[in-house]
């Protein structure tokens, strides 16, 4: 325990603290504004907490806006996207990790290629494709687009998790009498739960906060998702900051719940003891 | 139990050939050890028998049935992996019973088989543990247990002991042999360790560079190695190999330094042909009367069990192994005899001469 060591530890902790404050302060501000009554919003100057706090923005958003509908749409779109992508990415990632097949290289190149275009470039052609199919202005169309854009990255993510699981395990299962698919289901998937949780979480949050496609493919409140809905608090003449922030705070809830649900799988180390000693 | 017939098996990885045509018959209940240096294709051959690798050409039969196109699950074999490959999310009992559960065996049957396998392997008290809470030796036993709860047509072992420390390896080696004696199961055991091969095998298959070099009982390979590879691979310390020529006139070997070793009998070989003379260190006679040459002692390595002497003789570093402890000192000169009935002669291509 030298002086240098202590100083280093203190500096390290301080740096982490500064980072956490930097990262969480906007969230705090969101919360603060959401409970500030309108008459205090501009009159009190910059304060860490308003002299009078209330939930009126929340009540207004829940009772007099389309927010509950946006919220429901977003949950449907994000959850569906997350589940579909994770299933597809698990299967594709497993194939990339375990099999050699004709055209594998080109499939990987193609998947990487899709990740290289700025999405803005693709909005117009995608709109043109979906429109005659009746998939604009529908949650299904949005899910389809989100799935398409999230599968490549999620596949690479899942592949890296499968790569970390020894091939011996499913070979042992196959010799024990399992088909390859059963070995995948009963031996490999349970060991990939952390990876699946990470992929679910990643895709869910990506879909939850997506704005560009949601804005371009959907018109009208019926199929709007939450990020688009937030924009409705911006009117021509003013911005309803209090209501917007209240909606924002509520939008955090599902994401938080979701991560709370999967966090125990995010802890790695389940494969310990599989091989060697 | 079943026999295994392997006919002209070949394997290419892409364009690279790894096995160049292997023929082998393993009799019902036999314990066969595939031995050879790392990378010679032992695991590949074993995995082809298990159904984990495609067969490029040739045929494999298990119990008289062609299995080339059967899935591993339909071949009814059990395998113990070098890495053990235990299912980390299952208990010891779960690991051992997985194959039985896949076959939808009745609960009591499963419990009975797991219990008796656990008793044989001394795993009774560990059945509810997860693999990560086991030592290396215990994991190894679980891997064995997973194989013996079934009564498969054959057991395949891929270097099952090489992750254990030397002491444990010796113990487990004995247990595997005892297990085979009681179960009498057809077994193919892959190892790069010639001691394991010698001690375990009914028959050894020595492999090198994708080819079978010799098939025979352990003592066959030890006493009559078919070629230089087998001669050098089997036995420790390794056989001495001396370069020189064959002299037909008096049936003698002439070393590079022109010293002469009488061979005791004529060999089927042209006069003056380049040959290699082999003699195991334990057969070199040091001191005593009737030595062929005198040689200075270069190095003395006591092993406790005996002593390895390095002698400068016959133009090379000749090793001699004796059980005696009080032997020559470094720098001393001693007489060396190579008994003719202990000599092995190989032609320029490395094949044994008779
Ligand atoms: N999947 C593979 N792709 C390409 N080459 C391989 C593969 N598996 C093994 N090999 C090659 O085949 C040869 C034999 O390998 P292996 O059977 O594992 O050897 P051993 O078990 O005798 O050490 C080695 O040269 C190895 O590099
Ligand atoms: Mg191997």
Question: What average pLDDT does chain B have?
Answer: 92
Of B85, B130, B132, the CB nearest to A172: B85
* Residue A96: per-residue pLDDT: 95
Q: Is A271 on the interface with B (CB under 8 A)?
A: yes
What's the angle, vertex CA A186, arms to CA A184 and CA A187, rounded to 5?
70
Nearest Cα residue in chain A from B52: A171
Answer for the pair B260, B253: CB distance below 8 angstroms, yes or no. Answer: yes
- For ligand 1, whether the C-beta of B41 sits within 6 Å is yes
Domain ranges in chain A?
1-54, 66-234+244-272
pLDDT tens for each residue of B137-170: 899 999 999 999 988 999 999 999 988 888 889 9
Closest CA to A94 of A181, A206, A172: A181
**Looking at the predicted structure, is the pLDDT value of residue B289 above 80?**
no
Mean pLDDT for B23-28 is: 95
Predicted pLDDT at A236: 67
B38 CA: nearest ligand 1 atom: 23
Summarised one tens digit per residue, pLDDT across range A3-13 is 888 999 999 99
CB within 5 A of ion ligand 2: which residues? B 43
A chain contacts of residue B85, beta-carbon cutoff 8 Å: 166, 168-169, 171-172, 274-275
User: For ligand 1, is residue B344 a contact (CB within 6 Å)?
Assistant: no
On whether any CB of chain B is under 8 Å from the CB of A183, the answer is: no
Question: Shortest CB distance from B81 goes to which of A168, A190, A271?
Answer: A168
Whether the pLDDT of residue B201 is over 90: the answer is yes
Ligand 1 geometric centre to CA of B30 (Å): 26
pLDDT value at B242 more than 90 = yes
Q: Are B82 and B139 in contact (CB under 8 A)?
A: no
What CA–CA distance (Å, rounded) separates B127 from B92? 5
Q: How far apart are CA A15 and CA A17, in angstroms?
A: 5
Q: What is the pLDDT of residues B221-234, one digit of tens each?
A: 999 999 999 999 99
pLDDT at A168: 93
Phi first, then psi: give them for residue B26, nearest 5 degrees: -110, 120
Inform me whether the pLDDT recorded for A103 exceeds 50.
Answer: yes
pLDDT bucket at A185, cuts 50 / 70 / 90 = very high
Residue whose CA is closest, atom 24 of ligand 1? B39
- Contact by Cβ (8 Å): B5, B61: yes
Whether residue B347 has pLDDT greater than 90: yes
In whole angstroms, what is the distance from residue B209 CA to residue B220 CA?
A: 21
Q: What is the pLDDT of residues B161-177, one digit of tens each?
A: 988 888 889 988 998 99
| Domains of chain B: residue spans and CATH | 4-232 (3.40.50.300), 237-346 (2.40.50.140)
* Orientation angle between helical segments A241-266 and A56-64, nearest 10 degrees: 90
pLDDT exceeds cutoff 80 at A206: yes
Q: Does the pLDDT of residue B96 top 50, yes or no?
A: yes
Is there a contact between A177 and B102 if contact means CB atoms under 8 Å apart? Answer: yes
CA of B190 to the centre of ligand 2 (A): 7
Q: Mean per-residue pLDDT for A85-103?
A: 94
B44 shares contact with chain A (CB less than 8 Å): no
Mean pLDDT score of chain A, rounded to an integer? 86
**How far, in Å, from the CA of B15 to the mean position of ligand 2?**
20
Cβ contacts of B148 on chain A, cutoff 8 Å: none
Q: What is the structure's pLDDT at A268?
A: 53
Which among A172, A182, A187 is the nearest to B81, CB-wise?
A: A172
- Is the pLDDT assigned to residue A159 strictly greater than 50? yes
Whole-complex ipTM: 0.86
Is the beta carbon of B18 within 6 A of some atom in ligand 1? Answer: yes
Beta-strand runs (E) in B263-323:
274-279, 285-286, 293-302, 307-313, 316-322
Averaged pLDDT, A250-277: 65
B103 touches chain A (CB under 8 A): yes
Q: What is the mean pLDDT of residues B309-332?
A: 87
pLDDT score of A267 = 58
Tell me the pLDDT tens digit for each residue of A121-149: 888 899 999 999 988 888 999 999 999 99
Nearest Cα neighbor of A203 from A120, A86, A123, A72 is: A86
Tell me the CATH class for A66-234+244-272: mainly alpha
Burial of A241 (0-12, 13-18, 19+ CB in 10 A): middle
Map residue A55 onto helix, strand or coil.
Answer: coil
The CA distance from A77 to A95, in Å, is: 27
Whether A99 and chain B come into contact, CB under 8 Å, resolves to no
The 10 Å CB-count burial string (b at 16+, else e) for B260-282 is ebebeeebebeeeeebbbbbbbb
Q: Which atom of ligand 1 is nearest to the CA of B41?
A: 17
Distance from CA of B13 to the nearest CA of A (A): 11
DSSP reduced 3-state for B350:
coil
Query: Which pLDDT belongs to residue A163?
Result: 92
Q: How far is CA B11 from CA A168, B26, B54, B68, in A?
A: 20, 20, 8, 13
Confidence check: pLDDT of B105 > 60: yes
The pLDDT tens digits of the residues spanning B176-188 come to 999 899 888 999 9
A102 in B contact zone (CB under 8 Å): no
pLDDT in tens, A229-239: 888 777 767 77
pLDDT of residue A171: 95
pLDDT above 90 for B58: yes
Closest Cα to atom 17, ligand 1: which residue?
B41
| pLDDT at B236 (0 to 100) | 87
- The answer on pLDDT for A275 being more than 70 is no
A166, two tokens:
């020894």
Using CA atoms, how far apart are residues B279 and B241, in angstroms rounded to an integer?
7
The per-residue pLDDT for A277 is 38
Is the CB–ligand 1 distance for residue B42 below 6 Å?
yes
| Nearest residue to B62 via CA among B147, B142, B5 | B5
- Which comes out higher in pLDDT, residue B242 or A41? B242
């Amino acid at each position: 325990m030298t002086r240098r060591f202590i100083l280093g530890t203190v500096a390290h902790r301080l740096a982490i603290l500064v980072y956490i404050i930097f990262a969480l302060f906007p969230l705090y501000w969101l919360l603060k504004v959401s409970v500030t009554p309108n008459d205090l919003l501009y009159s009190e100057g910059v304060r860490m907490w308003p002299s009078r706090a209330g939930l009126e923005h929340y009540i207004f958003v829940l009772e007099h806006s389309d927010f509950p509908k946006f919220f429901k749409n977003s949950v449907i779109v994000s959850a569906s996207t997350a589940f579909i992508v994770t299933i597809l990415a698990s299967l594709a990632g497993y194939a990339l990790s375990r099999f050699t097949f004709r055209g594998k290289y080109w499939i990987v190149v193609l998947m990487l290629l899709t990740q290289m275009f700025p999405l803005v470039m693709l909005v117009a052609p995608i709109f043109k494709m979906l429109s005659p199919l009746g998939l604009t202005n529908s949650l299904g169309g949005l899910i389809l687009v989100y799935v398409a854009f999230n599968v490549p990255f999620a596949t690479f993510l899942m592949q890296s998790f499968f790569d970390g699981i020894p091939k011996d395990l499913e070979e042992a299962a196959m010799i024990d009498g399992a088909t390859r698919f059963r070995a995948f289901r009963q031996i490999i998937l349970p060991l990939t739960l952390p990876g699946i949780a990470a992929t679910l979480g990643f895709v869910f949050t990506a879909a939850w906060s997506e704005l560009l496609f949601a804005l371009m493919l959907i018109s009208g409140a019926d199929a709007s998702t939450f990020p688009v809905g937030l924009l409705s608090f911006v009117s021509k003449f003013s911005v309803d900051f209090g209501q917007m922030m209240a909606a924002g705070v509520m939008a955090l809830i599902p994401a938080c719940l979701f991560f709370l649900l999967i966090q125990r799988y995010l802890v790695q180390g389940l494969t310990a003891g599989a091989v060697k000693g | 139990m079943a026999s295994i017939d392997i006919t002209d098996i070949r394997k290419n990885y892409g364009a690279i050939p790894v096995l160049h045509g292997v023929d082998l018959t393993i009799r019902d209940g036999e314990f066969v050890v595939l031995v050879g240096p790392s990378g010679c294709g032992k695991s590949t051959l074993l995995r082809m028998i298990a159904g984990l690798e495609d067969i490029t050409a040739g045929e494999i039969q298990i119990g008289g049935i062609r299995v080339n196109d059967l899935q591993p699950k339909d071949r009814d074999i059990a395998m113990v992996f070098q890495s053990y490959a235990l299912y980390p999310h299952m208990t010891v009992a779960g690991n051992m019973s997985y194959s039985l559960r896949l076959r939808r065996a009745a609960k009591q049957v499963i419990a009975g088989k797991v219990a008796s396998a656990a008793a044989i392997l001394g795993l009774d008290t560990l059945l509810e543990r997860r693999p990560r809470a086991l030592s290396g030796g215990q994991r190894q036993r679980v891997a064995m247990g997973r194989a013996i709860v079934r009564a498969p047509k054959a057991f395949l072992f891929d270097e099952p002991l090489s992750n254990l420390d030397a002491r444990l390896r010796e113990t487990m080696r004995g247990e595997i042999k005892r297990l085979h004696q009681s179960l009498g199961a057809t077994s193919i055991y892959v190892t790069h360790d010639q001691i394991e091969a010698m001690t375990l095998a009914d028959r050894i298959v020595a492999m090198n560079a994708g080819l079978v070099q010799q098939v025979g009982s352990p003592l066959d390979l030890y006493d009559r190695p078919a070629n230089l590879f087998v001669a050098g691979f089997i036995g420790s310390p390794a056989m001495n190999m001396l370069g020189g020529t064959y002299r037909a006139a008096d049936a003698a070997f002439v070393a590079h330094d022109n010293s002469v070793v009488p061979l005791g009998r004529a060999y089927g070989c042209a006069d003056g042909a380049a040959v290699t003379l082999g003699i195991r260190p334990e057969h070199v006679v040091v001191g005593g009367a009737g030595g062929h040459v005198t040689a200075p002692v270069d190095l003395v390595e006591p092993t406790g069990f005996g002593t390895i002497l390095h002698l400068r003789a016959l133009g090379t570093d000749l090793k001699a192994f004796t059980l005696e402890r009080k032997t020559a000192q470094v720098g001393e000169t001693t007489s060396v005899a190579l008994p003719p009935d202990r000599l092995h002669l190989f032609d320029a291509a490395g094949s044994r001469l008779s």
